[in-house]
Structures are given as C-alpha cells and as structure tokens.
C-alpha cells in the first residue's frame, strides 16, 4: 500500500453488535446473529437495506458448517447485494473483510459494503464452568489431517494447545511470569467492569483470584483464556465523501497492515516468541502517517493474555521481555496513558474474532462509550490475529489498523 | 533407574482416527515399522516436518526430490504444556498429560505428547526420544515421546 492511496479515503459509518454475553442471545444460529447485527449496523448508519450493495461475510479459519453458514444471512435479512464474498482466518477476519470492502469501494463496484460475522460460540461450547474460552472449539482443528491432533491436542483446546507453546517459550527466553500475564487479565477486567455489555461487568477480579484460578493448559490458567459468546457483529463501510452525509461522525480508515509468520519456515525459532505484528504495524503506521505513541486507545485481539504481551513488545511499546513492567505501570487500565481493550477484551468482554475490537474503536472515536469513554480519543489502534492451528504452529497471520475521527 | 511412571490412556485411543492427508501417510506407515521418518531432500539431505519442499536451493525442487527417510527419533524439549482440563471426556483418564514441541536432532519441530513422566520433570532442553505405541486392534502406531536421562 503506497502512502495516501488509503488514508482517509474510506470510513466506517455504522456498527452493530448483538446484546452480548450477560444476556446471551442463546438459541440463535450464526446467520440469525449475523443478520441481527447487520440490521443494527444499517440502522446505526442511518441507511435502509436497499443501500447496502455489497456483503462480506467473515468466518472461522477453517470451514465450520455447524456454526457458520455462508451465502445465507443476507437473504434472511432481505439484503440485495451485488456481491457476497467470504473472508476467513478467524481472529483477523474483520480486518480482512475491511480490506476487501475498501477495494470494492475503490473500484466503484459498491457504495456501502457491510462486513459481518455471527457465531454461537457459547452455545457450541456448552462450557459448564464459565470462562474457559476457546475450549469449546476443540474439535475442528483435527480435520487438518497430519494426524497428531487426535493424540490430545484437539481434546485440550481449540487454541490453548497451540498458543500455549508460545507462552512456554516466552517464559523460557524472557522470564515472563504468571504475574505478568495476570496484569493483562486484571486490566481487561477493570474495563469490563465499566462496560454493561461485557460478560464480566459485575464481577471483580483480583490478583489473588487470578493466581488461584485453575490451570487449563499449564502455564495457561482459566483467566488467561478468552471467553465464548453467542454474538453477531457488523460494520458498514463506505467512501469518505459519502460518509460525511451520514448521521454519525465518520470514522476514517487511516492505515491497514498485514503480516504472516508463514514467511518464515515452520521451525524458525523466533516464531515462538513473537507474532508478525512488527511487520503489520509498520505498514499501518506508515500509511496513517502516525507513530505508535500518537494512539489514544487500542482494541487488541486478546485470545489469550500472552497475546497482549506480544503486541506491546512487537509493536515497539516496550522491549522484548519488558511488557510485564509496562503493564504494571497501569498504562493500559482505566485512566492510564495507553488504554487497551476498553470493552473488556475477549478475555472479559465478548468474543467474536476481531469484530468487537473494530466496533469498540468506532464507538470510542464517536464518543459513544459511556463510562469507559477515553477522553479526547482521536486515533485508535485495532488488530486481529488469525489463521489455522496446525502443529507445530499457532495462528500465523496478523492485521493492524489505525482509525481516526479527524482528517489528516 | 527410578520407578517408571506409565501414562494412562483413555478410551480415545480405541476410536477410529480421522483420515490422513495423502502427503503424511508415509510418516504413519513408518511408525508402523517403528521408524521415525522425516521428509528428506535428496540433493542436500535437509530434513523437514511436516511435508515441505526443500527451501535451501534457489530453484524449487521437484516434489519427487523429497523422500521420507528414517531418522533418529530423538531431540530436545523445545516447549511444553501440561493439560489439566479437556473438552473431550475420553481424555479424562489421561489427565494431567504433557504436550510438547520436540526439536528433533535433524532440525524440525515435532508436536507430540510426552508420556510416562511426572509433568513436573519436563523442562525445556531435556532430551527426549520417540516411544512407539501400537494401538491394540488397530493398524496404527502413535509417536509418543519419553524423557531420557
């Protein structure tokens, strides 16, 4: 992406998210959740259904027929899109969807594109003990066929038995501790306590609670794993010119970047102590013409606590091994200088890949975030992390985006 | 030698396994013969897992330049996890069990389970070797690993 090809050319004009975790929209299919969110986003944008002429449906990393159906929800809602395409790679599917949507807009093939997703993750997992996120999705990974999954990887968790190896290596190489991981969980929970839509809005979390919480896949405790939600989310994006005629202030797309650890071989040792965030962030910040310290609020993909440590280090907010200290400063918590995951994150808020991050960033930049509003938020950082989990590897793909409410 | 702890395996081990990708079948055929095979480059001898076309040459080698060959089945613990909770009840008797990445002596990383050990004894850098487990009543051998002193 060359400079100024992208910055301020497109904007988010509508977001929608179904009522989240505490009210669980249980008993609904993925398409119904997605349709509901899309309705909310279209209304939020002040549009009618016939204004939407492009649909990008986001889904899991690999085909997941029982939970997500394609080419379906828009018919349920009576949309009449000129195109309906699917993007995948789970945890960064919203960012991938926005990349595709903006390209359609640039080519003049659509005026308003909706990027959406629905997943009855909570219902699918039936987790009786609460916040043991990513566990319910354990079955799907084994379908990739190298044959090792059934030995105990799939039974352990969808994500924990891959991502956990990274925690093991980071602890070994940089001395990261459970206390460092606790800081991430505590920060997310403090924000969740301010967000009535967050799953754990009503539940405080202390360091003692964290350390007493059971190991799921040691060194990952229950409190290190994101939750499952039955959730739908949708984002309406259009060109910047059109955006200015809408009822809500436009949230401009300023920079978008992508990285993938597949650029290195499977066994490249550095793969296990970082994500490809440095590469993706460099592209996004260059296009936005901003530096990392100009960000007012960050909504980052915390599928596990360790991911936040990776992002802080790999984006350059601190050196490798120093994220624990950065977190202990309180910077990421309410009132801090670098607020992260003001919705409560995937850890304490709600789970739907990277969609909640983009929705929350939009609300922060519009000043709609209520008790958790970050004062004078003009620039937001979002990210997503996705891909397939094939031993010996975890999700390899990374996306970074910068949003802003002012033209540069 | 101290008393050997032997891992319990739940009823999962008797279930039919999901189909394999054709490219990985020779690996599992090797296990039946108690051979630990990796994909080896005929040109330079570099070993790979999973199936990968050798990356050490300027051109992309032909697929038939890669062959499955027996290797040591030994390496060191690169990363490890102890599973305390499962979503599949068939694994309940196994708990707690150890998942690990083994850095094989030939280079690649191999994801497996370390069996017959106290999870507390598993450390990064410890030596480990393959332990073949012939599944009773099935034409399948599982590539567990065990710690070595």
In this predicted structure, the answer to whether residue A135 has a pLDDT above a threshold of 60 is: no
Band (A27; pLDDT cuts 50, 70, 90): confident
- Same-domain check for residues B77 and B143: yes
Interval B117-140 mean pLDDT: 95
CA distance B2 to chain A (A): 25
Q: Does A108 touch chain B (CB under 8 A)?
A: no
| Overall domain count for chain B | 2
Looking at residue A401, its pLDDT comes to 98
Alpha-carbon distance of A280 to A288, in angstroms, equals 13
Clarify whether residues B105 and B148 are in a common domain: yes
Q: What percent of chain A has pLDDT over 90?
A: 69
User: Quick check: is B56 in a domain?
Assistant: yes
Same domain for B139 and B81: yes
Is residue B42 in a domain? yes
A219 to B81: CB separation less than 8 angstroms, yes or no: yes
A132 contacts in B (CB within 8 Å)? Answer: 85
Are B92 and B109 contained in the same domain? yes
In terms of pLDDT, which residue wins out, A76 or A155?
A76
Q: Given B37, B71, B105, which residue is the final one in a domain?
A: B71
Domain limit, last residue, from B71, B94, B109: B71
- Residues B81 and B144 reside in one and the same domain: yes
- Which residue segment(s) compose the domain that B130 sits in? 73-149
- Report the pLDDT value the prediction gives residue A137, as an integer from 0 to 100: 37
Does B119 fall in a domain?
Answer: yes
Mutation for A interface: B75, B99, B138, most A CBs within 10 A = B99
Residue A7's pLDDT band (boundaries 50, 70, 90)? very high
B58 and B122 in a common domain: no
On the question of pLDDT at A102 being above 90, the answer is yes
Note whether A138 contacts B88, CB cutoff 8 Å. yes
B94 & B46 share domain:
no
- Prediction pTM value: 0.94
**Which structure tokens are listed for A210?**
């964290």
Q: Which pLDDT score is estimated for A22?
A: 59
A286-305 per-position pLDDT tens digit: 999 999 999 999 999 999 99
Subunit contact A146:B80, Cβ cutoff 8 A = no
* ipTM for this prediction: 0.93
Q: Measure the CA–CA gap between B24 and A316, rounded to whole angstroms.
A: 39
Q: If pLDDT is split at 50, 70 and 90, which confidence band does A68 have?
A: low
Average pLDDT of every residue of chain B: 92
pLDDT at B20 over 90: no
Q: Which CATH number is B89's domain given? A: 2.40.50
Domain end (from B56, B71, B86):
B71
B143 shares a domain with B102: yes
| B65 and B91 inside one domain | no
Say which of B86, B96, B101 has its CB closest to residue A165.
B101
**Which of A152, A168, A266 is the closest to B83 by Cβ?**
A152
Chain B: which residues have CB within 8 Å of chain A?
Answer: 12, 15, 17-21, 24, 27-28, 49-50, 52, 55, 78-88, 90-91, 94, 96-97, 99, 101, 103, 107-113, 119, 124, 142-144
**Range 117-136 of A in CB contact (< 8 A) with B:** 125, 132, 135-136
What is the arithmetic mean of pLDDT over B43-65?
93
Extract the tokens encoding A29: 């299919």
- Which of A148, A218, A265 is closest, CB to CB, to B112? A148
In a domain, B3, yes or no: no
Structural domains in chain A plus CATH codes: 10-123+227-404 (3.40.47.10)
pLDDT at A395 over 90: no
Q: Assign A37 a pLDDT band (cuts: 50, 70, 90).
A: very high
- Whether B56 and B81 map to the same domain: the answer is no
User: Does residue B7 lie in a domain region?
Assistant: no
Q: Is B52 domain-assigned?
A: yes
Mean pLDDT on B43-49: 95
Q: Which of A18-22, A215-219, A329-333 has the highest mean pLDDT?
A: A329-333
The pLDDT of residue A25 is 67
Residues B80 and B110 in one domain: yes
Q: What is the C-alpha separation between A379 and A236, in angstroms, rounded?
A: 19
Nearest to A165 among B17, B81, B87 (CB): B81
How large is the greatest C-alpha to C-alpha distance in chain B, in angstroms?
52
Residues B77 and B145 in one domain: yes
Answer whether residue B9 is part of any domain. no
Kindly list the residues from chain B whose CB atom is less than 8 angstroms away from the CB atom of residue A165: 78-81, 99, 101
């Amino acid at each position: 992406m060359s400079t100024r090809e992208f910055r301020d050319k497109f904007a988010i004009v509508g977001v929608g998210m179904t009522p989240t975790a505490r009210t669980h929209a249980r008993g609904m299919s993925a398409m119904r959740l997605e349709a509901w969110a899309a309705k909310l986003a279209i209304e939020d944008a002040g549009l009618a259904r016939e204004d939407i002429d492009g649909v990008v449906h986001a889904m899991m990393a690999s085909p997941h027929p029982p939970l997500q159906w394609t080419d379906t929800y828009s018919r349920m809602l009576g949309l009449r899109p000129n195109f309906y395409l699917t993007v995948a790679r789970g945890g960064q599917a919203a960012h991938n969807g926005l990349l595709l949507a903006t390209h359609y807009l640039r080519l003049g093939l659509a005026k308003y594109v909706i990027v959406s997703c629905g997943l009855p993750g909570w219902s699918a997992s039936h987790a009786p003990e609460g916040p043991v996120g990513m566990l319910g999705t354990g079955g799907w990974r084994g379908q990739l066929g190298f044959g090792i999954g059934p030995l105990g990887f799939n039974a352990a968790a969808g994500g924990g038995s891959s991502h956990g190896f990274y925690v093991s290596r980071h602890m070994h190489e940089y001395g990261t501790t459970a206390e460092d991981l606790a800081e991430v969980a505590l920060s997310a929970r403090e924000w969740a306590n301010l967000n009535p839509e967050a799953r754990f809005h009503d539940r405080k979390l202390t360091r003692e609670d964290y350390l007493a919480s059971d190991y799921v896949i040691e060194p990952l405790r229950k409190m290190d794993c994101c939750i499952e939600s039955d959730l739908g989310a949708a984002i309406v994006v259009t060109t910047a010119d059109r955006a200015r005629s809408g009822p809500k202030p436009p949230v401009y797309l300023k920079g978008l970047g992508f990285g993938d650890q597949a650029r290195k071989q499977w066994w490249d040792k550095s793969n296990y102590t970082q994500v490809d965030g440095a590469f993706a962030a460099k592209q996004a910040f260059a296009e936005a013409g901003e530096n990392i310290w100009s960000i007012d609020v960050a909504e980052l993909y915390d599928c596990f606590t360790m991911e936040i440590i990776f992002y802080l280090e790999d984006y350059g907010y601190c050196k490798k091994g120093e994220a624990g200290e950065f977190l202990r400063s309180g910077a990421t918590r309410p009132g801090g200088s670098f607020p992260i995951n003001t919705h409560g994150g995937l850890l304490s808020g709600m789970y739907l890949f990277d969609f909640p991050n983009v929705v929350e960033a939009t609300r922060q930049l519009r000043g709609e975030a209520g008790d958790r509003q970050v004062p004078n938020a003009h620039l937001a950082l979002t990210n997503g992390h996705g891909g397939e989990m094939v031993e010996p590897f975890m999700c390899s793909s990374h996306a970074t985006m910068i949003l802003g409410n002012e033209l540069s | 030698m101290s008393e050997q702890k032997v891992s319990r395996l739940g009823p999962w081990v008797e279930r039919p396994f999901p189909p394999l990708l054709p490219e990985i079948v020779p690996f599992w055929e090797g296990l039946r013969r108690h051979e630990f095979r990796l994909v080896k480059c005929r040109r330079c001898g570099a070993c790979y897992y999973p199936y990968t076309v050798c990356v050490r040459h300027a051109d992309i080698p032909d697929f038939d330049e890669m062959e499955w060959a027996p290797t040591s089945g030994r390496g060191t613990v690169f990363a490890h996890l102890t599973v305390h909770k499962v979503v599949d009840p068939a694994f309940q008797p196994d708990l707690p069990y150890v998942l690990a990445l083994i850095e094989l002596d030939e280079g690649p990383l191999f994801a497996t389970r370390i069996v017959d050990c106290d999870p507390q004894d598993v450390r990064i850098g410890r030596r480990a070797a393959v332990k073949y487990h012939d599944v009773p009543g099935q034409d399948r051998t599982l590539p567990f690993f065990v710690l070595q002193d």
